A and B are shown apart, each in its own frame.
Chain A
Amino acid sequence: MRYVHTVGIHIDEVRRIATLARLRLEAAEEERLCAELGAILEAFERLQRLDTAGVAPTAHVEEFGAPLRADEVTNLPADEALLAGAPARDGRRFRVPKIIE
Chain B
Amino acid sequence: MSVPPYQWSLREAAARIRRREISAVELTRTALARIQAVEPAIGAFLTCCEADALAAAESIDRRMAAGEDPGSLGGVPVAVKDNICTAGVRTTAASRMLESFVPAFDATVTAKLRHAGAVIVGKTNCDEFAMGSSTENSALGQTRNPWDSSRVPGGSSGGSGAAVAAREVYAALGTDTGGSIRLPAAFCGVVGLKPTYGRVSRFGVIAYASSLDQVGPLTRDVTDAAMVLEAIAGHDPADSTASPRPVPAYQDGLDAGVRGMRLGLPREYFVQGMHPEVDRAVRAAVGELERLGASIEEVSLPHTDYAIATYYLIATAEASSNLARYDGVRYGLRVPSANLGEMYERSRAAGFGTEVKRRIMLGTYALSAGYYDAYYLKAQQVRTLIRRDFAQAFERCDALLTPVAPTPAFRLGERIDDPLTMYLSDILTISVNLAGLPALAVPCGMDSDGLPIGLQVIGRPFDEATLLRIGYAHELASDWHRRSPLP
Residue B140 is within 8 A (CB to CB) of chain A in the complex: no
Known: A21-B320, A40-B362, A46-B309. A96 touches B104 (CB 8 A): no
Cβ–Cβ contact B211 & A85, under 8 A: no
Cβ–Cβ contact B377 & A57, under 8 A: yes
**CB contact between A17 and one of B306, B365, B417, B461 (< 8 Å): that residue:** B365
Known: A23-B357, A57-B383, A81-B104. A62 touches B419 (CB 8 A): no
In the complex, which of the residues A9, A23, A86 has the most CB atoms of chain B within 10 Å of its own CB atom?
A: A23
Residue B51 is within 8 A (CB to CB) of chain A in the complex: no
Cβ–Cβ contact B310 & A99, under 8 A: no
Residue A67 is within 8 A (CB to CB) of chain B in the complex: yes
Shortest distance in angstroms between A61's beta carbon and chain B's nearest beta carbon?
Answer: 3
**CB contact between B329 and one of A14, A18, A96 (< 8 Å): that residue:** A96
Shortest distance in angstroms between A65's beta carbon and chain B's nearest beta carbon?
Answer: 9
**CB contact between B420 and one of A23, A43, A57 (< 8 Å): that residue:** A43
Cβ–Cβ contact B331 & A56, under 8 A: no
Residue B243 is within 8 A (CB to CB) of chain A in the complex: yes
**With A and B bound together, what is the CA distance between A62 and B235 in angstroms?**
13
Question: Interface residue count for B (Cβ, 8 Å)?
Answer: 75
Residue A66 is within 8 A (CB to CB) of chain B in the complex: yes
**With A and B bound together, what is the CA distance between A58 and B334 in angstroms?**
36
Residue B102 is within 8 A (CB to CB) of chain A in the complex: yes
Residues of B within 8 A of A43 (CB): 308-309, 420
Q: Is the interface of B mostly helix, strand, loop or mixed?
A: helix
Residues of A within 8 A of B381 (CB): 52, 55-58
Residue A92 is within 8 A (CB to CB) of chain B in the complex: no
Residue A88 is within 8 A (CB to CB) of chain B in the complex: yes
**CB contact between B198 and one of A16, A62, A98 (< 8 Å): that residue:** A62
Cβ–Cβ contact A44 & B312, under 8 A: yes
Whose C-beta in chain B lies nearest to the C-beta of A29? B357
Residue B379 is within 8 A (CB to CB) of chain A in the complex: yes
**With A and B bound together, what is the CA distance between A96 and B37 in angstroms?**
45
Residues of B within 8 A of A75 (CB): 105
**With A and B bound together, what is the CA distance between A29 and B387 in angstroms?**
37
Residue B339 is within 8 A (CB to CB) of chain A in the complex: yes
**CB contact between A61 and one of B102, B343, B436 (< 8 Å): that residue:** B436
Cβ–Cβ contact A39 & B420, under 8 A: yes
Residues of B within 8 A of A17 (CB): 361, 364-365, 368
**With A and B bound together, what is the CA distance between A48 and B310 in angstroms?**
11
Whose C-beta in chain B lies nearest to the C-beta of A83? B330
* B308-336 contacts to A (CB < 8 Å): 308-310, 312-313, 320, 324, 327-334, 336
Residues of A within 8 A of B331 (CB): 82, 85-87
Shortest distance in angstroms between B97's beta carbon and chain A's nearest beta carbon?
Answer: 11
Residues of A within 8 A of B337 (CB): 97
Whose C-beta in chain A lies nearest to the C-beta of B313? A44
Cβ–Cβ contact A46 & B365, under 8 A: no
Residues of B within 8 A of A22 (CB): 324, 327, 341, 344-345, 348
**With A and B bound together, what is the CA distance between A58 and B311 in angstroms?**
12
Residues of A within 8 A of B383 (CB): 57-58
Instruction: Given contact pairs A22-B345, A44-B313, A82-B104, enumerate 19 new A-B contacts (beta carbons under 8 Å).
Output: A3-B420, A13-B365, A17-B368, A22-B327, A37-B365, A44-B312, A46-B309, A55-B381, A60-B241, A60-B436, A74-B237, A84-B102, A85-B100, A85-B101, A87-B330, A94-B329, A97-B337, A97-B339, A98-B339
24 residue pairs from A and B, CB less than 8 Å apart: A16-B368, A17-B364, A18-B361, A21-B348, A23-B348, A23-B357, A23-B360, A24-B342, A24-B349, A37-B358, A40-B312, A46-B306, A47-B375, A55-B384, A58-B381, A58-B387, A58-B434, A61-B211, A61-B436, A62-B198, A78-B105, A86-B330, A87-B332, A94-B329
Interface positions of B (Cβ within 8 A of A): 100-102, 104-105, 197-198, 211, 235, 237, 240-241, 243-245, 303, 305-306, 308-310, 312-313, 320, 324, 327-334, 336-346, 348-349, 352, 357-358, 360-362, 364-365, 368, 374-375, 377-385, 387, 417-420, 434-436, 461
